[in-house]
Structure 1
Amino acid sequence: MKKKTVTIKDVARKAGVGVGTVSRVINNSPHVNPKTKEHVLKIIEELGYMPNPHARRLSSGHTKIITTIFPQMVGEFHQLLLSGIDEVFEKEGYTSFVYPLYSENRYRFVRESSDFVLGTDGLIVDALNVDKLLKQYIPKNMPVVSVEFDSEKYDSVIVDNFYGGMIAGDYLSNFDGELFVITHSRKSKLESTVFEERVNGFIESIERKGRKVKKIFEIELDWLDAFKTAKTIFTIAKKALIFTTTDYFAFPVIEFARVKGFEPKEDFYLCGFDNLTLSNILNITTIKQPIKEMGRTAGEILLKKIKGYVRKKHTAVFKPELIERDT
């Protein structure tokens, strides 16, 4: 009697978790509780589950796998985006893999390994210039959706980052003080393209109002670097008006201000970008982008393409909005 093939659904059912959780464990995602990961790995070993995308493609024409490529994974943003994507694909029995493209070695693997592309039914590429970096390595008929970059070739899901920067500029320009920007500068073609757009929108806004930025600080995506930058700003400014192009930089700024006894909306003003959970807890004014909804929309578009839906290239654009709080 032929032994029944163990599927990812069998693992999920036995472990008492969702298919997406099993997928993230298999892919060694950092966004899984350590105890849950240990439990799922134990069930995988117990059942003898072995993913085999090529066998699935031969038997059904599909691997039931989709892959999301990120430039790097920092903080809550990517977790929210992935949760939106998984919400769509878990219902269809798909496994979702994540591939952070944060080094030349990992980029070389994509360029040189046919297994990478053949092992997936579709690609979601986040915050990278997919047209320049990946298009030539992707098969012509592979379903692809670009997120946070408006591709010329592929369907795209974007937030208007330039407009978001303008909103931040409109807000901070209402107050007296010196304007500062804390942002991340790309040092590699494999890094996110969104920060420049936000800075450009901010500058456009304040210049329309006859204001100028005192200084733009370009730093690594690092909490300590942002904390040190906050110290520099509060040292040189009598009253600082600070725009951080991600909430990830706003958190250490508000922490430095708290330690030194500076009061928001009295001694300084601060506006972040993303509206992550901690910005709500810390009452930080920020620019909201609908991250999970963007992931869900990207997933829905990709799923339709996998199922054979054909249409002209389309871009779904989400508008950011100001969430004014205590800073």
Structure 2
Amino acid sequence: MGPTIKDVAKKANVSVATVSRVLNNQPGYSEKTKKKVLQVIEEMGYQPNAIARGLINKRTQTIGVLFPSVSSMFSSGVLHGIEHTAHERDHSVIVCNTDEDGKRTMKYLQVLREKQVDGIIFTSEVMKEEYYNALTMMNIPVVLLATSSVRYPFPFVKVDDKQAAYSATEYLIKKGHRKIAMISGTEEDPIAGTPRIEGYREALGDYGIPFQKNLLVFGDFGYRSGRIAMEKLLQTKAEFSAVFAASDEMAAGAINVAYQHGIKVPDHLSVIGYDNLQIAEMSVPPLTTVAQPLFEMGKLAAEMLLTMIETGTRVESRIMPHTIIERQSVAQLS
């Protein structure tokens, strides 16, 4: 049996209450006492009992994270950031895969309520009224990640999707491309669908390039949908020298179809993606893309949530920077 909190208190020559306050960052002791207690904890290898700590501070030291698709490379990137911060601050993470159409969201919100998580990071989905009502009843802090809501103003962390899509389209234009197709995400998706289309169209307009409806096709952000969308573009027989895909996975699917049709990237067709996932580096040729700082976004969302949990104060939303990562999938036209 390992050492107990009483053993630590006895060796440090302080009360059990003082050890408890040190463990939970509560006031009521000197810096000298704190150092002494922490030194004894390290020497004895004492591991605080999570249940006991929960009884003291009324918290479970766990946070819930809701993802529409846990298996996606995007989710993996932000989850690494979330777990990095959570574990650094002695919290566990419960990950819930809500499915892309949100069918399991209400079920998992109930599960997280029963688990008495201290806070929730809500990722990528649209914040519906039923979700908001369930979260409000839980009365715990919530941070939105890679999504936002005007109607339900939870603090959020995200990239400006419209501006990022504008940057991707403008990059192609400055490379000499005038006939630019777009493979968008889910049609009428207000989070990562519509804003990226708006950015694409606005860039075309600002550079005097007419929008062609037949050069806009839709996918679901996944690899397979990128392949299907690229086939649709080729079937239109429309001329285009470049494709902006609203995710790296769809871009990879488009490149694969181009290869099967004997279309060389970037010699015959330029492709730019969105996200800067690992697949962008693995693509042949390596994919030029708009980078979202996924790991940093996850870290920041967790930091914001834990600050709200620990202080009870609201935090400000954050727009994260995007950058163009140049690789070998875009050619300069003369």
TM-score relative to the length of structure 2: 0.73
CA distance in 2, matches of 1:209, 1:98: 44
Partner of 2:297: 294
Q: 2:318 is paired with a residue of what secondary structure?
A: strand
CA distance in 1, matches of 2:257, 2:104: 36
Distance 1:318 1:117, change over 3 A: farther
Q: Could you tell me which amino acid in structure 1 is paired with residue 255 of structure 2? A: I
Distance 1:169 1:105, change over 3 A: closer
Q: 1:194 is paired with a residue of what secondary structure?
A: coil
Partner of 1:275: 276
Gaps of 5+ in 2: 5-48, 330-334
Question: Where in structure 2 are the equivalents of 1:1-327 lying within 5 Å?
Answer: 57-58=54-55, 60-102=57-99, 103=101, 105-110=103-108, 113=110, 116=113, 119-130=116-127, 132-138=129-135, 139=137, 141-151=139-149, 152-174=152-174, 175-176=176-177, 178-185=179-186, 193-211=191-209, 212-213=211-212, 214-235=214-235, 236-282=237-283, 283-311=286-314, 313-327=315-329
Please report how far the alpha carbon of residue 156 of structure 1 lies from its aligned counterpart in structure 2 after TM superposition: 1.3
Q: Could you tell me which amino acid in structure 2 is paired with residue 129 of structure 1? A: V
Distance 1:81 1:192, change over 3 A: farther
CA distance in 2, matches of 1:117, 1:192: 31
Q: Could you tell me which amino acid in structure 2 is paired with residue 228 of structure 1? A: I
CA distance in 2, matches of 1:107, 1:186: 21
Contact 2:168 2:272 in 1 (8 A): yes
Post-superposition CA distance 1:11-32 (Å, at most 9, x none): xxxxxxxxxxxxxxxxxxxxxx
Please report how far the alpha carbon of residue 55 of structure 1 lies from its aligned counterpart in structure 2 after TM superposition: 8.3
Aligned residues between the structures? 275
TM-score relative to the length of structure 1: 0.74
- Could you say which structure has the larger radius of gyration? 2
Contact 1:168 1:287 in 2 (8 A): yes
Contact 1:148 1:156 in 2 (8 A): yes
Post-superposition CA distance 1:222-250 (Å, at most 9, x none): 43332233233245244432111000100
CA distance in 2, matches of 1:117, 1:206: 50
> Percent identical across equivalent pairs?
22
Contact 1:72 1:101 in 2 (8 A): yes
Distance 1:88 1:202, change over 3 A: same
Please report how far the alpha carbon of residue 79 of structure 1 lies from its aligned counterpart in structure 2 after TM superposition: 0.7
Please report how far the alpha carbon of residue 129 of structure 1 lies from its aligned counterpart in structure 2 after TM superposition: 3.3
Post-superposition CA distance 1:242-262 (Å, at most 9, x none): 111000100111122233332
Q: Which moved more, 1:254-263 or 1:316-325?
A: 254-263
CA distance in 2, matches of 1:150, 1:133: 16
Q: CA RMSD in A?
A: 3.0
CA distance in 2, matches of 1:186, 1:73: 21
Please report how far the alpha carbon of residue 63 of structure 1 lies from its aligned counterpart in structure 2 after TM superposition: 1.1
Distance 1:73 1:140, change over 3 A: closer
Post-superposition CA distance 1:48-95 (Å, at most 9, x none): xxxx99887445411111001123335211111010010011123321
Contact 1:177 1:238 in 2 (8 A): no
Please report how far the alpha carbon of residue 122 of structure 1 lies from its aligned counterpart in structure 2 after TM superposition: 0.7
Q: 1:157 is paired with a residue of what secondary structure?
A: strand
Distance 1:221 1:159, change over 3 A: closer
CA distance in 2, matches of 1:57, 1:140: 17
Contact 2:63 2:92 in 1 (8 A): yes
